[in-house]
Amino acid sequence: MQDEYQLDYFKENGFVRKTCPKCKTNFWTRDADTEFCGDPPCVSYSFIGAPVFKKEYDISSMREAYLSFFEKHGHTRVDRYPVIARWRDDIYLTIASIADFQPFVTSGLVPPPANPLTISQPCIRLDDLDAVGRSGRHLTTFEMMAHHCFNSRGNEIYWKDRTVELCDTLLADLGCDLKAVTYKENPWAGGGNAGPSVEVMVGGLELATLVFMDLKQVKGGSIEIKGETYEKMDNYIVDTGYGLERFVWASKGSPTIYDAVFPKIVSELMDLAGIEHSIDNPEYARMFSQNARFAGVMDISGQANLLQLRKKVADTIGTTVEKLQKLMVPVESVYAITDHSRCLAFMLGDGIIPSNVKAGYLARLVLRRTLRLMKELDIREPLIEIIEMQIKNFPEYPEFRERLDTIREIVALEEEKYADTIERGTKLVKKTALHFKDKKEKMPLGELIQLYDTHGIPPEITREVAKEAGVEVELPDTFYSLVAKKHSKAQEEETEGLTLDLPLTRKLYYEDSEQTEFSAKVLEVIENKIILDRTLFYPEGGGQPADHGTLSMEDYVANVADVQNMNGVIVHETDSDIGFKKGDAVKGKIDWERRLAHMRHHTATHIVNESAKAVLGKHIWQTGAQKSTDRARLDLTHFKRITDEEFREIELLANRAVMKNQPVYIDWMDRIEAEKKYGFVLYQGGVPPGKEIRILRVGSDVEACGGTHVSNTGLIGPIKLIKTERIQDGVERIEFSAGEAAVKRMQERDELLNKASDALRVSPEHLPDTVNRFFDEWKEFKKENERLKAELAEVRVKAMMGDAVEINGLKVLSKKIQHADVEELIKAATEFSKNDDVVAILASESGGVKIVVAAGARAQKLGVNAGAIVREMSKLVGGGGGGKPGIAQGGGTDAARIEEALERGVEMVSEKMK
RNA sequence: GGGCCUGUAGAUCAGGGGUAGAUCGUUGCGUUCGCAACGCAAAGGCCGCGGGUUCGAAUCCCGCCGGGUCCA
């Protein structure tokens, strides 16, 4: 690895290689007197108050200076990608510029959009959320300016020397003193790749990282970095990252990155929060400068570390931690809000819908955190106003302004939801707190975790509310990591794909989607799995199930039950292992009805998606879909429930699209070209691998799709939407049927309707009214019934009182009442036992044996226990029972022994009286 | 993708195998010139839906539907 950094460029330009005495890493510098590597904590920030470039830049002028510099040096400028990584299924957010080109460009499968290229890619990282605002340098959202160069053996554009040279020249162009620059050696590894890398340090600030990615992770590889083993790759990539915000900061030398990057919004927010932010006041600026310097050299995650930082800063500027805290906390919150609102502008602007899962959850996390900070500062301005400020501040992203109406609605809804959660939470906390107050205990940690984990109530709020109720809580520093621990990580299972050393199967289903029969040669037979040289059988994929059908040879036929695509080799699984062998010529026949139903549902899915977008808005994005022969479902990102009206409208539009009988266009296109032409909407149904992708166009819907489709929309037949379902917050599912399945569904519904109206002897039109009337009447009868039972009970009591037997001063009544249900028995028994000295033992036979015993107050005092009596009696009739001493009920199945049970009941009372 | 919580009167919620409750609100009566306040009374429940267990389910179990929330 050492040799990797022996660049000619360094040698020719008078660099010397030194080893940092503190961290022991090697670095290159033009100034032989430089002692340390230039990276905190070995050195601290020196650029604050001493800008490193010859003039000040803001975000847009810095970005432009960078991009045009690289354009001038032979690079093509490429548009930014969205912050939500739509083209990836392994990460939610775009975390680096290279993420734009993973995995297919970096793997060499797909050529880059340009080579070499330069880009300024907005990135979002939420790892250090707590440090944002406090450290003076952390941001959730930043633009990674980069130049990338994709080399392969025999086709090298440029590699290490040229990369360092470009960096050096750029810094020189910006007026940076090159003697102050150090290139620190620091091998990089991540996401299965690795390579040598240098960090570019100026004034104690890491301005850029130049990564030379030429290794891939291989088990037992010969090169070891950070505990993993790697091998050289055939393609090797220049992956650079220049922090736009850091360049701006370095150009201004302001106390914090926030004051450098968004001075206007910071000052507006300070006004709203009523904070005097006099960054020109040297004393004030010194406080934040010192803070940033110290924070630059230490880890400030966790309360303990933060306190340590506060202490250091307080000591240097000669104040107390308390005073410092009071001054800094609100300002830090404003910084954080500024950053977070920018993050939200990007997230929502790029179409993330807040939700409780996936990327949507991250958006909600940031949004709620921002609201919390605003509340602490008592900023009454609606959040959307601040986000709008940000959006207006980015003239370079006009796409955000187009979405403003939707963003407004989303933010308003989210604010409402959060307020609800807090309100609900506060009540719950109060209740919980009172519970512990009664017990005179502290509220335990487990309770705090529970409140946060299941109800989303931040522990700080719990503490506050509990305090008001006079209950202390136990809140350790490590709270959030304790929560994280509770969610034990479910290890992701690696699905081991069967790798077959066979030629790729020719996909006849792509060549002619109307064909039902074909001939092919058997290439391999593994148990009941058959691999052919060509096939019409569509393998399961893209939410479309596998084709079924038969494979046959002269005298035998095998049913194909499943078909899978193993990296281009299509495997037919048959339900028996009758004897095909290598080299056999077979005939295949697919179950056309099944296939046609799939094709209809698949094309219909695209149409419903398009219709939903037209009705609900541009933010609609497919997050999943599944087809079958009789129905299909489509999951869409949407921030509220689909109304009945919208539902009908979507159905109508979908059927209109069918009736227009539009052609369905299928083209194989170069991936990069397709992305350029249509954008990432292509990947709604998933991200297909490969250089060439199959593009399907129906009406205005364009998607990368590997499924089989009908050739014209008219062939779909009717589309019947069945229902919507909210599978997650922010994700709506539409279920529908198409073609014959739709007709069947409609018929089924008609039948239900007919059956229902037949049952009530009315026509379907009158069904709703009639049902309502019946329901109302049913409720009335129920009430009346209850009233009558109560009356009946009274009458029965009067009539039967005379039959009571005296036992030691108690009146014991034991009686079988024909056909009375439990309720009647209870009512009668209760009525009896209103008399203190009465014990009523009642039984009936209605759907088995029912027994009710009630004892008056005096009887109970004398030891009569209704529960005990019922238990014993019920045992006799083959059941069980129980209740309270005053009233109990039970029963069994053996009606023949009712009399016996009643006798036993009386006997038990007299036993008590002895 | 993986968890956790939750659904009871118009609203907020208790209860948690054995006769469905409280508070507020509503209506009526009383008090008042009238209102507020107060006193008394009443109406208002498929205990989310469907299965299962049980003599008996609002309560336990399973599934579905709805709402909430955390993590990756």
Residues A590-647 pLDDT 10s: 999 999 999 999 999 999 999 999 999 988 988 888 898 999 999 999 998 898 899 9
Pairing of strands A549-553, A556-566: antiparallel
CA distance linking residue A274 with residue A267, whole number of Å: 10
| Residue–nucleotide distance: A438 CA to B36 C1' (Å) | 36
- Higher per-residue confidence, A588 vs A683: A588
Q: Quote the pLDDT of residue A468.
A: 80
Q: Evaluate if residue A120 carries a pLDDT over 70.
A: yes
**Shortest CA distance to A419 belongs to which of A457, A366, A462?**
A457
From residues 613-642 of A, which are strand B contacts by CB within 7 A?
Answer: 624, 641
3-class DSSP state for residue A906? Answer: helix
Q: From the Cβ of A892, is strand B under 7 Å away?
A: yes
CA distance linking residue A481 with residue A793, whole number of Å: 63
C-beta of residue A476 within 8 angstroms of C-beta of residue A485: no
Q: Evaluate if residue A824 carries a pLDDT over 50.
A: yes
DSSP strands (E only) in A96-140 = 117-124
**Shortest CA distance to A476 belongs to which of A321, A314, A304?**
A304
Sign of CA dihedral A827, A833, A838, A841: positive
Cis status of the peptide bond prior to A103, with omega within 30 of 0? yes
CA distance linking residue A830 with residue A840, whole number of Å: 8
Environment class of A634 (CB within 10 Å of its CB; exposed 0-12, middle 13-18, buried 19+): buried
CA A604 vs CA A610, A624, A687, A694, A711: distances in Å:
10, 14, 20, 18, 12
Eight-state DSSP code of residue A132 = T
Which nucleotide does the CA of A126 lie closest to, via C1'?
A: B72
Q: Evaluate if residue A875 carries a pLDDT over 70.
A: yes
Which nucleotide does the CA of A879 lie closest to, via C1'?
A: B55
CA distance linking residue A570 with residue A524, whole number of Å: 11
Q: Quote the pLDDT of residue A512.
A: 85
Contact residues for A283 (Cβ-Cβ < 8 A; gap 6+): A317
Sign of CA dihedral A618, A392, A415, A88: positive
For the beta sheet containing A731-738, the strands, ordered from the edge strand earlier in sequence to the opposite edge, are A622-627, A632-637, A731-738, A719-728
Cis status of the peptide bond prior to A476, with omega within 30 of 0? no
What does residue A341 show for φ and ψ, rounded to 5 degrees? -70, -30
| Residue–nucleotide distance: A452 CA to B60 C1' (Å) | 28
Q: From the Cβ of A368, is strand B under 7 Å away?
A: yes
Q: How many helices (H) and strands (E) does chain A have?
A: 26, 33
Q: Quote the pLDDT of residue A490.
A: 39
Q: Retrieve residue A547's tokens.
A: 């084709």
- Higher per-residue confidence, A482 vs A29: A29
**Shortest CA distance to A513 belongs to which of A631, A599, A632?**
A599
Residue type for position A53: F
CA distance linking residue A697 with residue A606, whole number of Å: 9
CA distance linking residue A439 with residue A441, whole number of Å: 5
A220: left (phi over 0), alpha (psi -120 to 50) or beta: left
Contact residues for A894 (Cβ-Cβ < 8 A; gap 6+): A849, A876, A877, A878
Helix (H) or strand (E) segment spanning residue A452: helix A445-455
DSSP string, A327-379: HHHHHHHHHHHHHHHHHHHHHHHTTPPP-SSHHHHHHHHHHHHHHHHHHHTT-
Q: Using the C1' atom of nucleotide B65, identify the protein residue whose alpha carbon is closest.
A: A725
Contact residues for A282 (Cβ-Cβ < 8 A; gap 6+): none
DSSP strands (E only) in A533-651 = 534-535, 549-553, 556-566, 569-574, 585-590, 622-627, 632-637
Q: For chain A, what's the residue count?
A: 914
Q: Quote the pLDDT of residue A577.
A: 65
Q: Quote the pLDDT of residue A225.
A: 78
Q: Which residue has the tokens 């360092």?
A: A164
- Where are the alpha helices (H) located in A580-738, listed in sequence order? 592-616, 644-659, 671-678
Which nucleotide does the CA of A884 lie closest to, via C1'?
A: B18
C-beta of residue A691 within 8 angstroms of C-beta of residue A713: no
Q: Retrieve residue A298's tokens.
A: 């230490």
Q: Quote the pLDDT of residue A495.
A: 42
Q: From the Cβ of A454, is strand B under 7 Å away?
A: yes
3-class DSSP state for residue A186? Answer: coil
Confidence of residue A496 (pLDDT cuts 50, 70, 90): very low
Q: Using the C1' atom of nucleotide B14, identify the protein residue whose alpha carbon is closest.
A: A431
Nucleotides of B under 7 A from a protein CB: 1-5, 12-14, 17-19, 44-46, 54-56, 65-72
Pairing of strands A701-704, A692-698: antiparallel
C-beta of residue A324 within 8 angstroms of C-beta of residue A313: yes
3-class DSSP state for residue A559? Answer: strand
| Residue–nucleotide distance: A415 CA to B25 C1' (Å) | 28
What does residue A27 show for φ and ψ, rounded to 5 degrees? -150, 165
C-beta of residue A366 within 8 angstroms of C-beta of residue A305: no
CA distance linking residue A225 with residue A228, whole number of Å: 6
CA distance linking residue A757 with residue A746, whole number of Å: 16
**Shortest CA distance to A913 belongs to which of A834, A851, A855, A870?**
A855
The angle subtended at Cα A38 by Cα A37 and Cα A41, nearest 5°, is 95
Number of neighbours of residue A795 by Cβ within 10 angstroms = 12
C-beta of residue A745 within 8 angstroms of C-beta of residue A722: yes
Number of neighbours of residue A809 by Cβ within 10 angstroms = 10
Q: Quote the pLDDT of residue A780.
A: 87
Q: Retrieve residue A242's tokens.
A: 């220049």
Q: In this structure, which long-range contacts are made by residues A314-323, counting pairs with CB atoms below 8 Å and at least 24 apart in sequence?
A: A316/A290, A317/A283, A317/A286, A317/A287, A317/A290
Confidence of residue A489 (pLDDT cuts 50, 70, 90): very low
Cis status of the peptide bond prior to A503, with omega within 30 of 0? no
Q: Evaluate if residue A316 carries a pLDDT over 70.
A: yes
**Please, which residues bridge with residue A694 across strands?**
A668
Q: From the Cβ of A834, is strand B under 7 Å away?
A: no
Helix (H) or strand (E) segment spanning residue A306: helix A303-317
Task: Work out the average pLDDT over A788-808.
Answer: 86
Task: Work out the average pLDDT over A832-851.
Answer: 87
Q: Retrieve residue A555's tokens.
A: 């005298």
Q: Quote the pLDDT of residue A492.
A: 39
Q: From the Cβ of A785, is strand B under 7 Å away?
A: no
CA distance linking residue A784 with residue A126, whole number of Å: 63
Q: Retrieve residue A874's tokens.
A: 């019920």
From residues 480-499 of A, which are strand B contacts by CB within 7 A?
Answer: 480, 483-484, 487, 489-490
Q: Retrieve residue A151's tokens.
A: 């080399």
From residues 248-267 of A, which are strand B contacts by CB within 7 A?
Answer: none
Q: Evaluate if residue A478 carries a pLDDT over 80.
A: no
Render pLDDT for A718-763 as a digit per residue (tens, 0 to 9).
999 998 988 888 899 999 999 999 999 999 889 888 988 888 899 9
Q: Evaluate if residue A494 carries a pLDDT over 50.
A: no
Q: Retrieve residue A545's tokens.
A: 């199930």
Q: Quote the pLDDT of residue A2.
A: 72
Q: Which residue has the tokens 């499943």?
A: A562
Task: Work out the average pLDDT over A883-900.
Answer: 89
Q: Quote the pLDDT of residue A499.
A: 58
Average pLDDT of chain A is 88
| Residue–nucleotide distance: A171 CA to B2 C1' (Å) | 47
Q: From the Cβ of A771, is strand B under 7 Å away?
A: no
| Residue–nucleotide distance: A343 CA to B47 C1' (Å) | 45
Q: Evaluate if residue A142 carries a pLDDT over 60.
A: yes
The angle subtended at Cα A154 by Cα A153 and Cα A159, nearest 5°, is 70
Q: Quote the pLDDT of residue A559.
A: 92
Q: Retrieve residue A220's tokens.
A: 């037992």
3-class DSSP state for residue A230? Answer: strand
CA distance linking residue A210 with residue A242, whole number of Å: 8
CA distance linking residue A206 with residue A199, whole number of Å: 7
Render pLDDT for A419-431 as a digit per residue (tens, 0 to 9).
888 888 888 888 8
CA distance linking residue A150 with residue A112, whole number of Å: 7
Q: Evaluate if residue A693 carries a pLDDT over 50.
A: yes
Pairing of strands A228-243, A141-152: antiparallel
Q: Evaluate if residue A680 carries a pLDDT over 90.
A: no
